[in-house]
Amino acid sequence: MDTNTAGVEQTANTGQLPGWDAVDEQVLEAYRRNRESTDGVVADYIPILGAVDPELFGVSVAEVDGGVHVAGDADVEFSIQSISKAFVYALVAEEFGHDEVGERVGVNNTGLPFNSVIAVELNGGHPMNPMVNAGAIATTALMPGATAAEKWEHIRSGLSAFAGRQLQMDGVVYGSEAETNQRNQAIARLLQSYGRIDGDPLEMVDVYTRQCALLVSARDLAVMGATLADGGVNPVTGNRVISADVCRDTLSVLASTGLYERSGEWLFDIGLPGKSGVAGGIVTVAPGKGAIGTFSPRLDSAGNSVRGQRATAYLSRALGLNIFASGVHGSIDGNKQGSTP
Ligand code: GLU
């Protein structure tokens, strides 16, 4: 992965963020150093997504104390798309608990594209994980609610609690995907044939399509992610959304599956759980510290925002977020030499 971080030193992960001004400066720097890039292409398999302004670029960091930093187009709204899967999974895990949702939906990477039908076949109808479409549609079907309309209302209010404000659905994005989502309908029918989906499969695809059309900004993603970093309490509103155990479970799922087929490279380069969506958003969580939200519509070949990945890679290094980056105990800068035996 081209992270555009040559010369940027990895700061050791110390357990806390640097002070407010330092984070503010680094958020701006993450924006500045990647602003000019035009690498990648905008998704257009959902026709309306192709109409976006590709120059839009926003970066935000929300801290677990409720402070939010922004740079660029951090308040421009776009459809959440696949990033919704992370938060719907958290809401369902809250209802069903670790073991049952783990067994019903799974937590392993398929190694295949997010909308793969073959992955379902290869795994005997098991959806494998909630971040690919098969697992996400099966997860949406597990949301509380006797009808599709009730499930949808629970999803909308649940994701709004994560964001700390009422999220609205973009009717045009929903309509554009609803007209062209035959593949997701086929996946849902296939799950039905294996007895792996509750309820009417096409109604569940419809609810899933609505959840993907919810509008968020980079700032919203940062706050939603910071709720997962803060033991399930939204740090801006102070309201508990889910339990700390569910945060832990959700982040472990994201660590192995959040960035499509690039999830391994992402963990290698950035070292944090994250989730991306085809409209160009990425949310990345630093447990106990905060979260990064980015928006930039041009994507790499796996469907991940190019500038979003680069801005996040920069912040992971500069702010010392990578969960694998330790320093030597007791040293100030984490780089003290140990003694040789
Ligand atoms: N609504 C999109 C789909 O199901 C989401 C894709 C994505 O963001 O990965 O195809």
Distance of alpha carbon 137 from alpha carbon 191, whole angstroms: 9
pLDDT score for 109: 85
- Among 80, 87, 114, residue to substitute to test ligand 1 (most atoms within 8 Å of Cβ): 114
pLDDT tens across 187-229, in order?
Answer: 999 999 999 998 899 999 999 999 999 999 999 999 999 999 9
Q: Is 59 a catalytic residue?
A: no
pTM of the model: 0.95
Q: What is the DSSP string of 223-254?
A: HHHHHHHTTTB-TTT--B-S-HHHHHHHHHHH
pLDDT score for 334: 56
Q: What is the amino acid identity at position 16?
A: Q
CA 114 – ligand 1 centroid, Å: 8
CA 23 – ligand 1 centroid, Å: 32
Q: Which residues contact 130 (CB under 8 A, 6 or more apart)?
A: 85, 88, 89, 92, 101, 105, 106, 136, 138, 139, 253, 257
pLDDT score for 108: 85
Q: Which of 260, 263, 289, 306 is catalytic?
A: 260
CB 136 within 8 A of CB 210: no
Q: Closest by alpha carbon to 136, among 86, 201, 91, 203? A: 86
Q: Is 260 a catalytic residue?
A: yes
CA 76 – ligand 1 centroid, Å: 20
pLDDT score for 113: 86
Other C-beta atoms closer than 10 Å to the C-beta of 151 total 25
What CATH number was assigned to the domain covering residues 20-318? 3.40.710.10
CB 279 within 8 A of CB 286: no
273 phi/psi in degrees, rounded to 5: -70, 140
Q: Which residues contact 236 (CB under 8 A, 6 or more apart)?
A: 62, 66, 68, 164, 223, 226
pLDDT score for 114: 87
CA distances from residue 179 to 114, 159, 330 in whole angstroms, order as listed:
19, 24, 59
Q: Which residues contact 182 (CB under 8 A, 6 or more apart)?
A: none
CA 297 – ligand 1 centroid, Å: 14
pLDDT tens across 120-155, in order?
Answer: 888 888 888 899 999 999 999 999 999 999 999 999
Q: Closest by alpha carbon to 168, among 210, 201, 127, 136? A: 210
Q: Is 275 a catalytic residue?
A: no
- Domain borders along the chain are 20-318
| 274, β-bridge pairs | 284
How open is the CA angle 242-283-255, to the nearest 5 degrees?
Answer: 75
Please give the number of the atom of ligand 1 that sits closest to the Cα of 115.
10
CA 124 – ligand 1 centroid, Å: 23
- Among 44, 45, 46, residue to substitute to test ligand 1 (most atoms within 8 Å of Cβ): 46
pLDDT score for 333: 59
Q: Return the residue whose CA atom lies nearest to atom 2 of ligand 1.
A: 81
Q: Closest by alpha carbon to 92, among 128, 130, 146, 126? A: 130
pLDDT tens sequence for the chain (341 residues): 789 998 898 888 878 899 999 999 999 999 999 999 999 999 998 999 999 999 999 999 999 999 999 999 999 999 999 999 999 999 999 999 888 888 888 888 888 888 888 888 888 888 888 999 999 999 999 999 999 999 999 999 999 999 999 999 999 999 999 999 999 999 999 999 999 998 899 999 999 999 999 999 999 999 999 999 999 999 999 999 999 999 999 999 999 999 988 999 999 999 999 999 999 999 999 999 999 999 999 999 989 999 999 999 999 999 999 999 998 887 765 555 555 65
Q: Is 326 a catalytic residue?
A: no
Q: Is 116 in the pocket of ligand 1 (CB under 6 A)?
A: no
Q: Is 278 a catalytic residue?
A: yes
Other C-beta atoms closer than 10 Å to the C-beta of 194 total 15
* Structure tokens, 300: 């790499």
pLDDT score for 195: 93
pLDDT score for 337: 54
pLDDT score for 304: 94
Per DSSP, 269 falls in state H
pLDDT score for 335: 55
